[in-house]
């Protein structure tokens, strides 16, 4: 099996938390996300089990994936992932200080070549019909609009 997923998937955003992770992935080739996730999870479980001399499953259940078919959901998911770092920050730290997220890469630049931040940032270069002029303003200036809208996003993300 080919282990290189270059040009098969694109990672748009991520955050690693102490007990879980979030990935926003754009699938380029059919079924490539499923194969990528299976490979990633299998390799991590093997690494973890070998390192801590254990056997058996590591994760509680199957990963969750949702189809994003609207620009608004795509951007909200990216924002949700990047705002997720707030729970891990110590007093006085900002979102850009959390090293296990793609947010500092979006704001400061550089970062891994496998992260495609330009796909999301391209929406902020368009001027028609978009109320934020910068990605940083979009993330850090976020206020939930309504309980109904928040409920919709929560269902999309958690179902």
pLDDT of residue 153: 57
What is the CA angle 144-105-21, rounded to 5? 65
pLDDT of residue 2: 43
Q: Is residue 4 part of a domain?
A: no
pLDDT at 130 over 80: no
Number of folded domains that form the chain: 1
Q: Is residue 50 part of a domain?
A: yes
Digit-coded pLDDT (tens) for 10-52: 999 999 998 889 999 999 999 999 999 999 999 999 999 999 9
Q: Is residue 1 part of a domain?
A: no
Q: Is residue 3 part of a domain?
A: no
Could you list the residue range(s) of the whole structural domain that residue 56 is in? 9-158
CB-CB neighbours of 51 under 10 Å: 8
Alpha-carbon distance of 129 to 140, in angstroms, equals 20
CB-CB neighbours of 108 under 10 Å: 9
pLDDT at 4 over 70: yes
Q: Is residue 2 part of a domain?
A: no
Task: Between 145 and 98, name the one with better pLDDT.
Answer: 98
74: closest CA among 10, 12, 127? 12
Q: Is residue 149 part of a domain?
A: yes
CA 138 to chain centre: 16
pTM: 0.82
Digit-coded pLDDT (tens) for 99-115: 999 999 999 988 898 99
Q: Is residue 125 part of a domain?
A: yes
Which secondary structure element, helix H or strand E, spans residue 136, and what is its range?
helix 135-140
Percent of the chain with pLDDT over 90: 57
Q: Is residue 61 part of a domain?
A: yes
Return the CATH number at 67: 3.30.70
pLDDT of residue 147: 53
Look at residue 42 and give its three-state secondary structure: helix
> 128: which 2 tokens?
């028609």
What is the CA angle 154-122-157, rounded to 5? 10
């Amino acid at each position: 099996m080919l282990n290189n997923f270059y040009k098969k998937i694109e990672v748009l955003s991520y955050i690693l938390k102490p007990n879980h992770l979030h990935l926003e992935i754009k699938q380029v080739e059919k079924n490539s996300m499923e194969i990528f996730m299976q490979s990633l999870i299998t390799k991590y479980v093997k690494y973890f089990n070998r390192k801590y001399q254990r056997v058996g499953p590591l994760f509680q259940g199957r990963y969750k994936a949702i189809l994003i078919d609207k620009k608004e959901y795509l951007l909200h998911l990216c924002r949700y992932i990047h705002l997720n770092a707030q729970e891990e920050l110590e007093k006085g730290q900002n979102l850009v200080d959390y090293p296990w997220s793609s947010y500092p890469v979006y704001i400061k630049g550089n970062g891994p070549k496998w992260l495609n931040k330009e796909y999301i940032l391209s929406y902020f270069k368009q001027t028609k019909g978009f109320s934020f002029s910068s990605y940083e303003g979009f993330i850090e200036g976020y206020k939930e609009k309504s309980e109904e809208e928040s409920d919709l996003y929560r269902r999309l993300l958690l179902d």
